[in-house]
Amino acid sequence: MYVAVKGGEKAIDNAHEILEEDRRGDLELPEIGVGQISEQLGRAVDRVMTEGSVYDPELAALAVKQAQGDLVEAIFLLRAFRATLPRLAVSRTLNTGEMRIRRRISATFKDLPGGQILGPTYDYTHRLLDFGLMAEKAANEPSGETDPSDAGDQKSRDAEGPIPKVLDLLDRDGLIETFEAGAGDEAGEEEVGDLTREPLTFPAGRDLRLQNLARGDEGFLLALGYSTQRGFGNNHPFAGEIRLGEVDVEIVPEELDFPVPLGEITVTECEMITQFKGSKEQPPKFTRGYGLAFGHCERKAMAMALVDRALRTKELGEEPKAPAQDEEFVLYHSDNVESSGFVEHLKLPHYVDFQAELTLIRKLRQEHDDPGSGSEPAAERAEAGE
Amino acid sequence: MGDGTQVRGYNFAYLDEGTKRSIRRIILKAIAIPGYQVPFGSREMPLPYGWGTGGIQVTASILGPDDVLKVIDQGADDTTNAVSIRRFFSRTANISTTERTTEATIIQTRHRVPETPLHEDQILVYQVPIPEPLRWLEPRETETRKMHALEEYGVMHVKLYEDIAHYGHIATAYNYPALVNRRHVMATSPIPKFDNPKIDRIPALQIFGAGREKRIYAIPPYTEVKSLDFEDHPFSIETWDQCCAMCGDTESYLDEVITDDEGTRMFVCSDTDHCRRRRDDGHAGPGEPGEDAPGDDNGGAGKGLPG
């Protein structure tokens, strides 16, 4: 006997209990700690912080643990938490020129002030599974004897002061576009938009675009950036500079008129240089694409910089042709919390729409098989009385 | 069913008062311009986008401690997501909930309008996935906003006309476009076109929330909502040859249920509260196919398919 399904609440509770068992896995194995995740799965934690828009390695690690390593789910957890946080202040613009650098490379100059610093990188590793890591032994611990200064150009460490940015060197020669007025200005901090408070409208300013891209899905931006390299959008980019390290976050409290440091955060910054042939208004020059991510997210920062440049097409008087140059297409579809929610909502019941479609398809089929009945909406109440 | 166990650490109905106030201002604007989609600063809720976050934010913003909330999905109170949303509010706001349409002051819904007529003291909150009725005809928001501003709806009429040219009738079964207050074409959230007449000039306030798309729109009480059509092809709704197998109703929207491996079907009311109320009042349907029908009319219905 058919009975209308009841007990959804019990089913949901049971499902979540099973999920909890599934998450914990084999009880013979020790439970993974949040500290272990933030220390040993740092790249996962960095991605969750970047796309989750919260710089908090501990909470991001908790989200990774709770989501069983499903990073998009972890990002969602962190975002939902973020939405409940008050905004106490807006920080001053980060000064990445003052970064305490751990890694810094430029693909545009063989040598340059500050030198090339490889730092912690998978570049030039041979991608061979390291079976040594299978054994959980103290013997596998790094010796700790590596001198960080060996991982790069010796000269770099000689210079104690801040390492100049590659694009600033080009700037001096007037070969690259200068910053837009006000941006990064020490004195007058411009007010920046926040798309988590006000909905995005078009055309979006560069502040909102960069915020959107910084929160955007790494895979989506990677594919779009890649597409510009393959001819969908005429970008010929050079990695002007990629730098990783720690920068200070400062605020200027209302009652004080000097900046107060809040602490430091780790960021990855990428500045791409793209050739620009010039237009009627502007002489030929190099143009910029900018990427910034929390923690060590180099792939993300690079992809972001490519897409940022691609989205400047209209501003530079070029004709947008490719998906990556289409502001509305990119910015409306970059967010994986939005996109995964909507794709996965297809799991929700759609009985009612589907019933409407069933009725319609049956009617269309009937008319298809029997063309004579074509214009008689037999199943429609409007004619029922006739 | 408030059980005194409101989740600690969160404000009443989850959102902070500042956010709720900003959403209420948006709702007032939406009511002032019936059918116009007002952008709002949609928040990331602890439920996924696409799962009712727009409706949840609207409900959270208008909910008071004395409200009685009903949540339905596909017309039913017991579908999993309806259960989940109802529980969200009984936990974060500790308010009373009900499954009875007549008892509710706020009804949050997905894809259906209750069969029971609503009254002035009720608010119907819709969860909306795609608030833009022109989206399938023009994917760009920058364009569709212009089209609404210029009242440029020709493309929608052309689409409906092309249906008639191809099929002899309009082939849109749900999310059937409607003109609100003779000005804005709106997406009906999507409800089946069967429900379109039920949102026209009704006493209850209707608010539509689209969280992911960050839009809110509204139909004030007694506002005209006209389903688009042509003089020679008037709007019409679907009917079934069957009645509800459980309550025998011939007027309600029916869900098709497959009852065995042979593909035998039966039809039951999509609105579970409506169906239960009719059964409580002594109505009965023919029952499941193959059973001895206790029904009062339409014996044997359910074997056939809608014509």
For A57-88, the pLDDT digits (tens) are: 999 999 999 999 999 999 999 999 998 888 88
Higher-pLDDT residue of B30, B263: B30
Of B74, B246, B253, the CB nearest to A349: B74
* CB-side neighbour CA atoms (13 Å) of A227: 18
Which strand (E) or helix (H) includes residue A243?
strand A237-251
Q: Quick one: tokens of B76?
A: 């039913």
Distance between CA atoms of residues A82 and A103, nearest Å: 30
What residue type is assigned to position A121 of the chain?
T
Together in a domain, A268 and A331: yes
Winning range, highest mean pLDDT, from A35-49, A112-126, B242-256: A35-49
The confidence score (pLDDT) of residue A326 equals: 95
The confidence score (pLDDT) of residue A266 equals: 98
* % of chain B at pLDDT higher than 90: 79
The confidence score (pLDDT) of residue A156 equals: 45
**Structural domain includes residue A280:** yes
Helix (H, G, I), strand (E, B) or coil at A354: helix
The confidence score (pLDDT) of residue B151 equals: 97
Lowest average pLDDT, out of A221-230, A343-352, B149-158, goes to A343-352
Choose the mutation target among B80, B126, B216 for the interface with A, i.e. most A CBs under 10 Å.
B80
Residue B105 has pLDDT above 70, yes or no: yes
Question: In B195-253, at which residue ranges do the beta strands (DSSP E only) sit?
Answer: 205-210, 215-219, 225-227
Residue A42 has pLDDT above 90, yes or no: yes
The confidence score (pLDDT) of residue A283 equals: 80
DSSP code per residue over A266-295: EEEEEEEEEEE---SSS-SEEEEEEEEEES
Together in a domain, A76 and A102: no
Q: For CA atoms B53, B58, B61, B67, give the dihedral sign.
A: negative
Distance from CA of A346 to the nearest CA of B (A): 9
DSSP code per residue over A101-153: EEEEE-SS-SS-TT--B--S--TT------GGGGS--GGGS--S---GGGSB-
Q: Which CATH class is domain B17-223?
A: alpha beta
Residue B132 has pLDDT above 60, yes or no: yes
CB atoms within 10 A of CB A379: 20
Q: What is the pLDDT of residues A259-288, one digit of tens each?
A: 999 999 999 999 999 888 777 777 888 889
Q: Omega before A203 cis (within 30°)?
A: yes
Neighboring chain A residues of B237 at a CB cutoff of 8 Å: 380-382
Q: What is the pLDDT of residues B1-30, one digit of tens each?
A: 445 566 777 889 999 999 999 999 999 999
Together in a domain, A226 and A113: yes
Q: Is the separation of the CB atoms in B108 and B125 below 8 Å?
A: yes
The confidence score (pLDDT) of residue B303 equals: 38
Together in a domain, A197 and A279: yes
Task: Single out the residue of A329, A162, A301, A310 nearest to residue A242, CA to CA.
Answer: A301
Distance between CA atoms of residues B89 and B70, nearest Å: 10
Neighboring chain A residues of B236 at a CB cutoff of 8 Å: 377, 380-383
Residue A144 has pLDDT above 60, yes or no: no
Task: Single out the residue of A147, A106, A129, A101 nearest to residue A273, CA to CA.
Answer: A106
**Structural domain includes residue A288:** yes
Q: Omega before A237 cis (within 30°)?
A: no
Q: Which of B243, B269, B295, B302 is catalytic?
A: B269
Q: For CA atoms A349, A355, A360, A363, give the dihedral sign.
A: positive
Kindly identify which residue of chain B lies nearest to residue A348, measuring between CA atoms: B81
Together in a domain, A244 and A330: yes
Cα end-to-end distance, chain A, whole Å: 37
Q: Is the separation of the CB atoms in B216 and B23 below 8 Å?
A: yes
- For residue A383, name the pLDDT band (cuts at 50, 70, 90): very low
Of B53, B84, B142, the CB nearest to A202: B142
DSSP code per residue over A14-33: HHHHHHHHHHH--TTSPPPP
* CB-side neighbour CA atoms (13 Å) of A177: 24
Choose the mutation target among A201, A330, A348, A353 for the interface with B, i.e. most B CBs under 10 Å.
A348
B304 shares contact with chain A (CB less than 8 Å): no
Pair type for strands B123-127 and B205-210: parallel
- DSSP alpha helices (H): ranges in B122-208? 141-149, 154-167
Distance from CA of A128 to the nearest CA of B (A): 38
The confidence score (pLDDT) of residue A161 equals: 77
Q: Mean pLDDT of all residues in chain B?
A: 90
- Are the Cβ atoms of B79 and A349 closer than 8 angstroms? yes
**Structural domain includes residue A358:** no
Together in a domain, A330 and A198: yes
Task: Output the furthest CA–CA distance in chain B (Å, rounded).
Answer: 60
Residue B39 has pLDDT above 90, yes or no: yes
The confidence score (pLDDT) of residue A160 equals: 62
- Are the Cβ atoms of A1 and B78 closer than 8 angstroms? no
Q: Mean pLDDT of all residues in chain A?
A: 85
DSSP code per residue over A247-262: EEEEE--TT-SS-EEE
User: Which residues sit opposite A266 in a β-bridge?
Assistant: A246
- Are the Cβ atoms of A383 and B236 closer than 8 angstroms? yes
Higher-pLDDT residue of A88, B150: B150
Distance from CA of A363 to the nearest CA of B (A): 7
**What average pLDDT does this structure show over B74-81?**
90
What residue type is assigned to position A309 of the chain?
R
**What average pLDDT does this structure show over A337-343?**
96
- Are the Cβ atoms of B174 and A357 closer than 8 angstroms? yes
The confidence score (pLDDT) of residue B5 equals: 60
Q: Which residues does A341 contact at the CB level (< 8 Å), separation at least 6?
A: A76, B48, B49, B50, B51, B53, B212
Choose the mutation target among B16, B19, B38, B44 for the interface with A, i.e. most A CBs under 10 Å.
B44
Together in a domain, A176 and A57: no
The confidence score (pLDDT) of residue A163 equals: 87
Q: Is the separation of the CB atoms in A60 and A78 below 8 Å?
A: yes
Neighboring chain B residues of A378 at a CB cutoff of 8 Å: 307
Together in a domain, A324 and A229: yes
Neighboring chain B residues of A345 at a CB cutoff of 8 Å: 48-51, 129
Q: Is the separation of the CB atoms in A209 and A329 below 8 Å?
A: no
The confidence score (pLDDT) of residue B235 equals: 95
Higher-pLDDT residue of A386, B102: B102
Kindly identify which residue of chain A lies nearest to residue B85, measuring between CA atoms: A9
Residues 142-171 (B) with a CB less than 8 A from some CB of A = 142, 167-169, 171
B258 shares contact with chain A (CB less than 8 Å): no
Q: Is the separation of the CB atoms in B23 and B40 below 8 Å?
A: yes
Lowest average pLDDT, out of A62-66, A116-120, A176-180, B240-244, goes to A176-180
Q: Which residues does A210 contact at the CB level (< 8 Å), separation at least 6?
A: A290, A292, A304, A308
Q: For CA atoms A144, A147, A148, A153, give the dihedral sign.
A: negative
Together in a domain, A335 and A204: yes
Kindly identify which residue of chain A lies nearest to residue B9, measuring between CA atoms: A84
B260 shares contact with chain A (CB less than 8 Å): no
Higher-pLDDT residue of A298, A358: A298
The confidence score (pLDDT) of residue A61 equals: 98
Lowest average pLDDT, out of A121-130, A214-223, B140-149, B295-304, goes to B295-304
* CB-side neighbour CA atoms (13 Å) of A38: 14
Neighboring chain B residues of A364 at a CB cutoff of 8 Å: 167, 171
What are the sequence ranges of the domains in chain B? 17-223, 239-293
- Are the Cβ atoms of A355 and B168 closer than 8 angstroms? no
Together in a domain, A34 and A117: no
Distance between CA atoms of residues A303 and A311, nearest Å: 12
A65-81: buried (b, 16+ CB within 10 Å) or exposed (e) per residue?
bebeeebbbbbbbbbbb
Distance from CA of B147 to the nearest CA of A (A): 15
**Structural domain includes residue A352:** no
Neighboring chain A residues of B82 at a CB cutoff of 8 Å: 8
- Are the Cβ atoms of A356 and B291 closer than 8 angstroms? no
Give the domain extent around A175: 96-123+147-341
The confidence score (pLDDT) of residue A150 equals: 58
CA-only gyration radius of chain B, Å:
20
Count of structural domains, chain A: 2
**What average pLDDT does this structure show over A179-183?**
50
Kindly identify which residue of chain A lies nearest to residue B173, measuring between CA atoms: A356
Residue A151 has pLDDT above 60, yes or no: no
Of B49, B234, B238, the CB nearest to A379: B238
User: Which residues sit opposite B109 in a β-bridge?
Assistant: B72, B126
**What average pLDDT does this structure show over B172-191?**
94
Together in a domain, A108 and A252: yes
The verdict on whether B243 is a catalytic residue reads: no
Residues 100-139 (B) with a CB less than 8 A from some CB of A = 110-112, 129
User: Which residues sit opposite A288 in a β-bridge?
Assistant: A273
Higher-pLDDT residue of A370, A218: A218
- Are the Cβ atoms of A83 and B168 closer than 8 angstroms? no
Q: What is the pLDDT of residues B42-73, one digit of tens each?
A: 999 999 999 999 999 999 999 999 999 999 99
Kindly identify which residue of chain A lies nearest to residue B193, measuring between CA atoms: A356
The confidence score (pLDDT) of residue A162 equals: 85
Distance from CA of A216 to the nearest CA of B (A): 15
**Structural domain includes residue A286:** yes
Kindly identify which residue of chain A lies nearest to residue B52, measuring between CA atoms: A345
Residue A308 has pLDDT above 60, yes or no: yes
Of A2, A341, A351, the CB nearest to B48: A341
**Structural domain includes residue A222:** yes
pTM of the model: 0.87
**What average pLDDT does this structure show over B275-292?**
84
Together in a domain, A191 and A71: no
- For residue B297, name the pLDDT band (cuts at 50, 70, 90): very low
Distance from CA of B65 to the nearest CA of A (A): 21
Distance between CA atoms of residues A342 and B195, nearest Å: 24
